[in-house]
Chain A
Amino acid sequence: MRQHISFYVGDTLHHLSSLPPELTLLDWLRDQQARTGTKEGCNEGDCGACTVLVGRLEQGHLVWRAVNACIHMVWMLDGAQLLTVEDLRGPDGALHPVQQAMVDEHGSQCGFCTPGFVMSMVALSTRADLAALEGTLDGERIINEALAGNLCRCTGYAPIVRAMKKAAAYCARHGEPISARTAELSARLQALQDGKTVELHSPQGRVTLPATVEALATAYAQDPAAMLVAGGTDVGLWVTKRLRQLPHIIAVRTARDLHKIHTRPDGALWIGAGVTYTEAMPHLVAHLPTAADTLRRIGSTQVRNAATVCGNIGNASPIGDGPPIFMAAGAQLHLRCGPERRVVPLEAFFLEYGKQDIRPGEFIEGVLIPPLPAGSVCGVYKVSKRFDQDISAVLGAFVLVMAEDGTIQQARLAYGGMAGIPCRASRAEAALTGQTRTPVTLLAAQAAIKEDFTPLSDMRASAWYRATVAANLLVRLFEPDRDSPPHHAPTLQNWQEVAHG
């Protein structure tokens, strides 16, 4: 048992033994460390002006992740290396290549979002596959993804993207200064990893950082009133916006055995409760290839770097993007309370808005996603006002298990945004089952969708829009169209035609 946390900010080692549980990294940096380069733009993890880099050893390798400091709690830094914009200048005072490119390409106007952009851009420039970025359409997609969590109101982004390309080209040829320090930084972070559970006490409350799932289970069983926090991308807003105080936080991500992600011999994918979306991404993309484009649009890079797959399930939002996808894939949730374990089908976990099948002291240990049956057709479609980093108006995730004769053996249609919980469209599924994919079948399923749901109207979309889109999305499973993958109508996401004359 340790009673303090240790982490580096720049090259300075900090030991903290007493801090309010909900103290955010942004407030700590600005108010207590005089590091005002990191800005507060929205205080809810949407604008990215507070982006900082957190370096950690992942499977022994130092990996840099951009996160939103406004909804990252200070205790999350235990064992990590933090870099803020103040740490980027070289020993001679020279600007980092990303910073220099931003100056040269007029990438800043008012300058307020700029430090956050710079940090996201530096995170990208530390990637090993940087050289492959240059020039290609794929490169633009990678840049769009890396910067989706940073809002700029002045530039229209064009000069920032130009700066990113220039900096990437420079770093690919001449090296990236932070990556150049990998060995040294890895060694000193390694020295911080003692594998101990941590208990922090302060007048405002306590934080438990369990080192193992056993320690977590014990701590939570002892205090079921404690707040479990994994990535904190949701709980962070309770703190910054609802001003909630959290007298006892139990961390999820510190339990090392919750970080497992692997494919079982039967082909099912296990994702432990400590695994972030970013860590899970390559596995999920391999497992559910047609969900890839939507998975990349969950939150932003900063959010996916902090948020866990299981946290996205556990908070049970009706508009979370992960649950309908996993539900369509037939996922099962593994729950644990103290020593007891049980397994529930994901769709049975969500009972009604704000209510889940979970008991006091019980927590999610992981989620198991079975493989898609051979010959199945799978489509996942997210529809929102803005393409990137927006909450879905409607998300449809569909799996059709096809028999050899072309009939639909089984249909799993799961939706987000259509009800108080993510849920399946049972009437539409029934309309499809046993049928072939003909226009008549489609019409029947579309009619059934209207029976399945009575969606809400709110600032994201009207009930009419949600119902119409939910039905229209089924078209994409039925419509072969030119230049598109088989069995899928083209979407803006996959449409690459460039016929600009």
Chain B
Amino acid sequence: MVDPYTMAAQPAEAGGPAPHGPAQVAGAASSSLRHESAHLHVAGEARYVDDMPTPPNAVHVALGLSSRAHARIISMDLGPVQAYPGVVCVLSARDIAHHNQISSVGAGDEPLLAEDHVFFCGQPLFAVVAQTRHAARQAAVLARVEYEDLPTVLNIEQARAQGGALVCRSLEMTRGNAAQALANAPHRLAGQLTIGGQEHFYLEGQAALAWPGEDGEMRICSSTQHPTETQHMVAHVLGCPNNLVTVEVRRMGGGFGGKETQANIVACLAALAAARTGRPAKLRLDRDDDMMITGKRHDFVIDYDVGFDAQGRVLGVDMELAARCGWSADLSGPVTDRALFHADNAYYYPDVRLRSVPLRTNTQSNTAFRGFGGPQGAAAAERMMEQIAFATGLDPLDVRLRNVYGTTERNVTPYHMTVEDSIAGEVMTQLAQDCDYRKRRAQIREFNKTSRYLRRGIALTPVKFGISFTATHFNQAGALVHVYTDGSVQVNHGGTEMGQGLHTKMVQIAMREFGLPHERVRITATTTGKVPNTSATAASSGADLNGMAVLAAVRTIKDRLVNFAAAKWQVSPEQVHFTADGVVVGEATVPFATLVNAAYMARISLSSTGFYKTPKISWDSATGRGRPFYYFAYGAACAEVVVDLLTGENRMERVDILHDAGLSLNPDIDIGQIEGGFVQGAGWLTMEELFWDTSGRLRTHAPSTYKIPACSDRPRIFNVKLMENVPNREETIFRSKAVGEPPFVHGLAVLHAISDALASVDNYRTYPGLNAPATPEQILRVAERLRQQGGVGHAQVHT
């Protein structure tokens, strides 16, 4: 300890931490700590955009939406809107003096407000700015719009029938000669998988509050996953340089990809209203409007042709992955690319050709959603594995194990990246043992022999998920760390908190490095004013990228403090260590605050930025070759379900998951990501169904019609474990692995377990070919088809 007046170091107490060991702070990185805002969440004290005190002179914005899926606007009479009591002004495309364009990829195909055409039902036509939100909403429905309807393209089938216009380029990946491999294969089958989209249903809808400042400044609180892009879009629409716009995000009430680009619409319109009126302006979408306007997960139709041998080994694959992209490009290019990157899931395809077909349709512009196309690609791989198992009579698990990537051979992906870290086989094998997969499978088949209407099914599926943005330049991050003279620390970084615990992990990194308890480390709202030019918090990369940036900033400050302490107390820098008990300096231990204050007095800078860029990665979409991913995250899930053959109702009886988070930064938070990701994935593949009517109007635009899993839909028995002692082979932050998206793919086990239950209808002779979402209706249709195929009519079932 140190005498605070003399600064004289005193000997460390006996029994203290080993001077050379890591700082042993409870809750520091690599151990569990509760979410940094948990105490605020439970008390209703965590503020979201709509909870911020609204300035008294604020105006409120509501949107007028297109009622047609594709039409020319003949006329738009906004007189009645303007005349409604409380309306301040109405903004349409012609009121946007600068750029009415918010395509995040620069495609130039996404006007903020419709110009002379509308391209989907729900497209924003105009913005009403009023004294109250209620008045704005009331006025927004009063516009008189005349349309001239144009032909619509609503889904993949129609898009293909009408020429197959694309929103962006198609990608092709090839290795070897797929056509020849298929021709030579002893067995070959082809099929088609249809897989539905998904609404994000973040509990907090899209919202933004914009404050106009002096001299053209604009400050925006936005519920966005990508503050930098929101900043750029606002500046672009307002026609001002980026340095006038500051975007701030304390937290989001969920994002899941739905606020990566879609938040820009709301932020830009709030900013536009604020710029026009000179008053603070808030736009918070009503849930129905939110669901009508914003894009969703891409639905896919995947055609596959696979050759294999009698042992179920894949010899060649040819696959076409067509996606409904909606009316504009948005992120459909990288999303459909990632579907290709994951069309192998965990399996080696010796000869392969994959290509994407990103189709333009008159529907919401589909966008990022947890997994970003990857789960759809993985679904195709699992479909092939299951169908091969039927064709060969093998247990699907054995087919999967025979095709899984090796580490020294059979280890090159369709994009020519060598897989160096495959543990998918080990994970599946261990999980199968842990959850007694083979014994239960036999018991289930026995049960199904005598149960007439309730049938059980089981499946075990793996995931291998590539970690990094495939756009290489996004793999960078910045941080800004301040140490104040009282020894308290403030951490800022470019990532955003949407519930995934990113901020908690960033605090834990600083705790571990400085040896401080969590009370001494404060995380701030993410703001473009502190850390500029950031990437979206997406692609599971938040902790990987920002964690290393925070670490870099912290280590810069630490180095200065170490050098200062070494000089002051006449020890070598190697003799200075940051521990839970304080900073060990040679034989002495100095409280962190004391050291910091002394450093300040000696005019040492206590603030630093940090920067990180992911090494080793590269990707060339023109050649379809590269190393787009720094590493892969792995896992496996085993699901058991019961299905009612009279109604198609189904329930998850038991789910076991074994997942690889490397050396987890926070095991409790990571298990939360896995549990939540799994249920979200299972919801996507079972009950969540988007329904557009024949005019192109989305009819599932509220939770009354769009059903996400509720409490009783979780598995009745739910065991989630992290792989133990599996450090990331690459030098990630404390050897952890990304955990945001990979567990979402575990939902596939449920789809295949339902398929297994259905196969019993025809005594496991016919492949069910179950598509997603496997709603009760979809399940009943397959059951009826299998009854008829099996020559067992329904009438005979109960006679």
Nearest CB in chain A to that of B138: its residue: A243
Contacts of A465 in B (CB 8 A): 648, 776-777, 780-781
Q: Is the CB of A499 within 8 A of B204?
A: no
Q: Is the CB of A157 within 8 A of B43?
A: no
Q: Is the CB of B703 within 8 A of A489?
A: no
A156 and B439 alpha carbons, distance in the complex (Å): 28
Q: Which of B197-226 contact A (CB under 8 A)?
A: 200-205
Q: Which of B287, B650, B718 contacts A44 (CB 8 A)?
A: B287
Whether B7 is near chain A, meaning CB under 8 Å from some CB there, is: no
Say which one of A140-148, A283-291, A349-357, A422-430 lies at the interface with B. A140-148
Q: Which of B201-253 contact A (CB under 8 A)?
A: 201-205, 251-253
A154 and B740 alpha carbons, distance in the complex (Å): 11
Contacts of A39 in B (CB 8 A): 44, 48, 203-204, 253
Say which one of A259-267, A372-380, A385-393 lies at the interface with B. A385-393
Whether A223 is near chain B, meaning CB under 8 Å from some CB there, is: no
Instruction: Give 1 or 0 for each of B28-72: 1 = CB within 8 Å of chain A CB.
Output: 000000110111111111111011010000000000000000000
A412 and B427 alpha carbons, distance in the complex (Å): 55
Whether B691 is near chain A, meaning CB under 8 Å from some CB there, is: yes
Contacts of A475 in B (CB 8 A): 453, 646, 798
Whether B737 is near chain A, meaning CB under 8 Å from some CB there, is: no
Q: Is the CB of A38 within 8 A of B714?
A: no
Contacts of B691 in A (CB 8 A): 458-459
Q: Which of B46, B200, B447, B718 contacts A111 (CB 8 A)?
A: B46
Contacts of B41 in A (CB 8 A): 102, 108, 111, 114-115
Nearest CB in chain B to that of A462: its residue: B777
Q: Is the CB of A37 within 8 A of B203?
A: no
- Whole-angstrom distance from the CB of A50 to the nearest CB of chain B? 11
Q: Knowing A106-B669, A500-B654 touch, does A37 contact B45 (C-beta < 8 A)? A: yes
* Interface residue total, chain B, C-beta cutoff 8 A: 101
Nearest CB in chain A to that of B650: its residue: A492
- Whole-angstrom distance from the CB of B704 to the nearest CB of chain A? 5
A489 and B451 alpha carbons, distance in the complex (Å): 10
Whether B254 is near chain A, meaning CB under 8 Å from some CB there, is: yes
Q: Is the CB of B644 within 8 A of A492?
A: yes
Q: Which of B48, B447, B710, B780 contacts A387 (CB 8 A)?
A: B710
- Whole-angstrom distance from the CB of A85 to the nearest CB of chain B? 4
Q: Is the CB of A99 within 8 A of B798?
A: no
Instruction: Give 1 or 0 for each of A441-481: 1 = CB within 8 Å of chain B CB.
Output: 01100000000000000111110110011001101101101
Q: Which of B456-509 contact A (CB under 8 A)?
A: 498-501
Whether A49 is near chain B, meaning CB under 8 Å from some CB there, is: yes
Q: Knowing A43-B286, A500-B440 touch, does A492 contact B777 (C-beta < 8 A)? A: no
Q: Is the CB of B776 within 8 A of A49?
A: no
Whether A61 is near chain B, meaning CB under 8 Å from some CB there, is: no
- Whole-angstrom distance from the CB of A166 to the nearest CB of chain B? 13
Whether A89 is near chain B, meaning CB under 8 Å from some CB there, is: yes
Contacts of A154 in B (CB 8 A): 254, 499, 672, 676
Instruction: Give 1 or 0 for each of B691-718: 1 = CB within 8 Å of chain A CB.
Output: 1000000011011110111111110111
Contacts of A196 in B (CB 8 A): none
Q: Knowing A151-B203, A153-B201, A501-B443 touch, does A109 contact B712 (C-beta < 8 A)? A: no
Q: Is the CB of A109 within 8 A of B676?
A: yes
Q: Is the CB of B50 within 8 A of A36?
A: yes
Q: Is the CB of A108 within 8 A of B35?
A: yes
Q: Knowing A161-B714, A459-B699, A492-B650 touch, does A102 contact B453 (C-beta < 8 A)? A: no
Contacts of A35 in B (CB 8 A): 44
Q: Knowing A37-B44, A112-B48, A153-B256 touch, does A500 contact B653 (C-beta < 8 A)? A: yes
Whether B558 is near chain A, meaning CB under 8 Å from some CB there, is: no
Whether A81 is near chain B, meaning CB under 8 Å from some CB there, is: no
Contacts of B720 in A (CB 8 A): 158
Whether B353 is near chain A, meaning CB under 8 Å from some CB there, is: no
Q: Knowing A36-B51, A108-B38, A144-B711 touch, does A44 contact B704 (C-beta < 8 A)? A: yes
Whether A118 is near chain B, meaning CB under 8 Å from some CB there, is: yes
Contacts of A102 in B (CB 8 A): 38, 41-42
A49 and B201 alpha carbons, distance in the complex (Å): 13
Whether B660 is near chain A, meaning CB under 8 Å from some CB there, is: no
Q: Which of A113, A156, A489, A491 contacts B678 (CB 8 A)?
A: A156
Contacts of B699 in A (CB 8 A): 458-459
A104 and B39 alpha carbons, distance in the complex (Å): 10
A501 and B689 alpha carbons, distance in the complex (Å): 33
Contacts of A152 in B (CB 8 A): 203, 711
Q: Is the CB of A390 within 8 A of B707?
A: yes
Q: Knowing A115-B42, A387-B649 touch, does A42 contact B453 (C-beta < 8 A)? A: no
Whether B137 is near chain A, meaning CB under 8 Å from some CB there, is: yes
A47 and B640 alpha carbons, distance in the complex (Å): 28
A43 and B50 alpha carbons, distance in the complex (Å): 14
Q: Which of A99, A158, A479 contacts B714 (CB 8 A)?
A: A158
Q: Knowing A42-B702, A157-B714 touch, does A109 contact B44 (C-beta < 8 A)? A: no
Contacts of B555 in A (CB 8 A): none
Q: Knowing A469-B646, A475-B646 touch, does A113 contact B203 (C-beta < 8 A)? A: yes
What residues make up the interface of B, taking CB atoms closer than 8 Å to A? 34-35, 37-48, 50-51, 53, 134, 137-138, 141, 200-205, 251-256, 286-288, 436, 439-440, 443, 447, 450-454, 498-501, 640, 642, 644, 646-651, 653-654, 668-669, 671-672, 675-680, 687, 689, 691, 699-700, 702-705, 707-714, 716-718, 720, 775-777, 780-781, 784, 795, 798-799
A–B Cβ pairs within 8 angstroms, 7 of them: A40-B205, A110-B203, A111-B41, A153-B201, A243-B137, A458-B699, A479-B798
What residues make up the interface of A, taking CB atoms closer than 8 Å to B? 30, 34-44, 46-47, 49, 84-86, 88-89, 95, 98-100, 102-104, 106-115, 118, 140, 143-144, 147-148, 150-161, 241, 243, 381, 383-391, 393, 439, 442-443, 458-462, 464-465, 468-469, 472-473, 475-476, 478-479, 481-482, 489-492, 495, 498-501
A-B pairs with lowest CB-CB distance, top 9: A37-B44, A110-B499, A112-B253, A111-B41, A156-B679, A109-B499, A85-B44, A459-B691, A46-B703
